[in-house]
């Protein structure tokens, strides 16, 4: 079956621009996670949904970051007024029980 998909795969934004990153989880997976992976680092947790409820957003670095999952399936991570330090790969993962399945990520470059 289809895995987790993310779009776009690559995004170049000018500083100050708003961006939206999409995640399509595996069908039926209740939990959805967003992680940020800076160059040469391990992924860092951003936020977690169970169905449409955002249960943990403790990892969002600032109020410029916003995530939603309105119908409990597709999720969007939005970054407003992008800064250079936002440049990273943004990974989405979904899970049903214990194992998280990761998408290929969106590489965001802020110029």
Partner 1 sequence: AQSVTQLDSQVPVFEEAPVELRCNYSSSVSVYLFWYVQYPNQGLQLLLKYLSGSTLVKGINGFEAEFNKSQTSFHLRKPSVHISDTAEYFCAPGGSGGSEKLVFGKGTKLTVNP
| Closer residue to partner 1 (CB): 103 or 108 | 103
25 binds partner 1 (CB under 8 A): no
| Closer residue to partner 1 (CB): 30 or 81 | 30
Q: In b/e form, how buried is each residue of 49-81, taking b as 16+ CB within 10 angstroms? A: beeeebeeeeebeeeebebebeeebebebebee
Q: Is 86 left (phi over 0), alpha (psi -120 to 50) or beta?
A: alpha
Nearest distance in Å: CB 18, partner 1: 25
CA–chain centroid gap for 52, Å, is 15
72 binds partner 1 (CB under 8 A): no
Residue 8, preceding peptide bond in cis (omega within 30° of 0): yes
| Closer residue to partner 1 (CB): 5 or 80 | 5
Among residues 30, 52, 62, 111, the one that binds partner 1 under rule CB under 8 A: 30
Give contact residues for partner 1 (rule: CB under 8 A): 4, 30-31, 33, 35, 41-45, 48, 50, 56, 59, 91, 93, 95, 97-105
């Amino acid at each position: 079956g289809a895995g987790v998909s993310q779009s776009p795969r690559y995004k170049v934004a000018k500083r100050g621009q708003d961006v939206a990153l999409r995640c399509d989880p595996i069908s039926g997976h209740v939990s959805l996670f967003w992680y940020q992976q800076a160059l040469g680092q391990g992924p860092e947790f951003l936020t977690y949904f169970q169905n449409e409820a955002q249960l943990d957003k403790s990892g969002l670095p600032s109020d410029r970051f916003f995530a939603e999952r309105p119908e409990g399936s597709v999720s969007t991570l939005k970054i407003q007024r992008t800064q250079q330090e936002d440049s990273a790969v943004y990974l989405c993962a979904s899970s049903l029980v214990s194992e998280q399945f990761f998408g290929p990520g969106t590489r965001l470059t802020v110029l």
